[in-house]
């Protein structure tokens, strides 16, 4: 019994020492702009090696390469939105936006949907819905990126760089282990980060439409506040296809929207106290800051495979940089993604000899 009682104490001690070591190592880390520059350079080199100019194989996204499908949607700002949330894209209660949603898997190499995976949802608010001219107001495009877990496995730009230097972008277990377990000294192990990856990758979903999603990273809310975003479904779950199908998430998405409309709700979680802005691996407590509804995402019944939609979906680009200034991305992980996604999209489109999809034009076509 004494040994069992001592084990939690030992684990707590190791975690505490590891936390101190982690903070100490960050004191000697690179300036953020230098870390980001090296990340982008290494990621570009990997893309060039994976999809060389001589290759006829189409280049895929560096992140979330496998899509379950792109869904045409509208987003409506809550008609009763409280005054303190009326910022940027949410300034006008009742305003309707045209929108696209891309559902995806996070694995660097596309594989069967039943494989361990984070599940992504990228929401693009394009422009005010022209069918609702009573609330027609021009607004910049606004991209919101989500994963089906509230915390990211990397804290900041220097953690991202350490992951890239370990070869983590190659997406295999061997290189990932080099990041999480960089040596024999257990005080250098990244156990908490490994636990985040494990919990996220092993969480099973029946459909892209029936799970919760989280932005993980913070954003401005006006000049002196910050928020994180969350999305939750507001339609009932349906029976899922067999997970033996390697594309069962696409099958589920196609079947559900082929029969009936669906909806989701967008929420804000406001920063309270000293909730971290530059540590995406730390959750913000919902007990201290409950979710507050911003609006509703409606998806009409549709055929997600109609016409050239899949091709248009592949050429859609999403970037957290696409946001009103009042809702600009915060923190090192967002700063990395802004530069990395821009460079990745440029390489992918250039290699494939195509251009980015005009999201507004595609919305009117499909």
Report residue 95's pLDDT band, with 50, 70 and 90 as the boundaries.
very high
Global pTM reads 0.89
Contact by Cβ (8 Å): 233, 208:
no
What's the pLDDT score for residue 251?
94
Mean pLDDT of the chain: 89
Task: Round to whole Å and give the CA distance between 95 and 89.
Answer: 9
What DSSP state is assigned to residue 8? Answer: H
pLDDT at 7 over 80: no
Q: How far is CA 323 from CA 221, 293, 363, in A?
A: 11, 19, 19
For residue 244, the cross-strand partners are: none
What's the pLDDT score for residue 118?
93
- What is the number of other CB atoms lying within 10 angstroms of the CB of residue 97? 25
- Compute the average pLDDT of residues 159-180: 89
Task: Round to whole Å and give the CA distance between 319 and 340.
Answer: 9
For residue 65, the Cα-to-chain-centroid distance in whole angstroms is 12
- What is the number of other CB atoms lying within 10 angstroms of the CB of residue 106? 20
What's the pLDDT score for residue 4?
45
Rg value, the chain, Cα: 21
Domains and CATH numbers, the chain: 61-151+192-365 (2.40.180.10)
pLDDT at 26 over 70: no
What's the pLDDT score for residue 338?
97
Helices (H), 203-331: 248-259, 309-314
219-220 and 213-214 strand pairing: unpaired
What DSSP state is assigned to residue 320? Answer: T
Task: Round to whole Å and give the CA distance between 300 and 320.
Answer: 26
Task: Round to whole Å and give the CA distance between 128 and 316.
Answer: 19
CA angle 124-122-360, nearest 5°?
A: 25
For residue 146, the cross-strand partners are: 121
pLDDT tens column, 274-319: 999 999 999 999 999 999 999 999 999 999 998 899 999 999 999 9
φ, ψ for residue 124, nearest 5 deg: -115, 110
Rounded percentage of the chain residues whose pLDDT exceeds 90: 75
Find the helix or strand (DSSP H, E) in which 150 lies.
none
pLDDT tens column, 345-362: 999 999 999 999 999 999
3-state secondary structure of 50: helix
């Amino acid at each position: 019994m004494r040994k069992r009682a001592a084990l939690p104490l030992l684990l707590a001690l190791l975690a505490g020492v590891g936390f101190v070591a982690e903070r100490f190592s960050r004191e000697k880390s690179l300036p953020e702009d230098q870390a980001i520059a090296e990340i982008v350079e290494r990621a570009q080199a990997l893309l060039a090696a994976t999809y060389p100019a001589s290759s006829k194989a189409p280049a895929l996204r560096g992140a979330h390469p496998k899509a379950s499908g792109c869904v045409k949607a509208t987003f409506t700002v809550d008609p009763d939105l409280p005054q303190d949330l009326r910022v940027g894209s949410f300034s006008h209660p009742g305003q309707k936006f045209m929108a696209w949603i891309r559902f995806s898997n996070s694995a660097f190499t596309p594989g069967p949907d039943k494989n361990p995976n984070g599940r992504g949802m990228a929401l693009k608010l394009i422009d005010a819905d022209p069918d609702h001219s009573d609330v027609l107001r021009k607004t910049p495009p606004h991209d919101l990126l989500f994963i089906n877990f509230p915390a990211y496995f990397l804290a900041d730009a220097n953690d991202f760089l350490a992951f890239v230097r370990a070869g983590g972008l190659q997406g295999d277990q061997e290189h990932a282990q080099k990041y999480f377990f960089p040596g024999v000294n257990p005080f250098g192990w990244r156990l908490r980060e490994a636990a985040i990856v494990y919990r996220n990758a092993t969480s099973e979903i029946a459909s892209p439409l029936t799970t919760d999603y989280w932005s993980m990273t913070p954003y401005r809310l006006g000049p002196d506040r910050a928020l994180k975003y969350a999305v939750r479904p507001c339609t009932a779950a349906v029976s899922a296809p067999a997970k033996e199908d390697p594309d069962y998430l696409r099958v589920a998405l196609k079947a559900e929207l082929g029969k009936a409309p669906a909806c989701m709700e967008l929420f804000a979680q406001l920063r309270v106290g000293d909730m971290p802005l530059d540590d995406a691996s730390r959750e913000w407590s919902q007990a201290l800051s409950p979710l507050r509804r911003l609006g509703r995402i409606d998806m009409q019944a549709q055929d997600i495979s109609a016409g050239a939609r899949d091709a248009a979906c592949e050429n859609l680009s999403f970037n957290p940089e696409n946001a009103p200034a009042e809702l600009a991305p915060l923190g090192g992980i967002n700063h990395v993604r802004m530069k990395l996604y821009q460079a990745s999209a440029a390489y992918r489109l250039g290699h494939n000899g195509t251009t980015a999809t005009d999201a507004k034009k595609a919305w009117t076509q499909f």
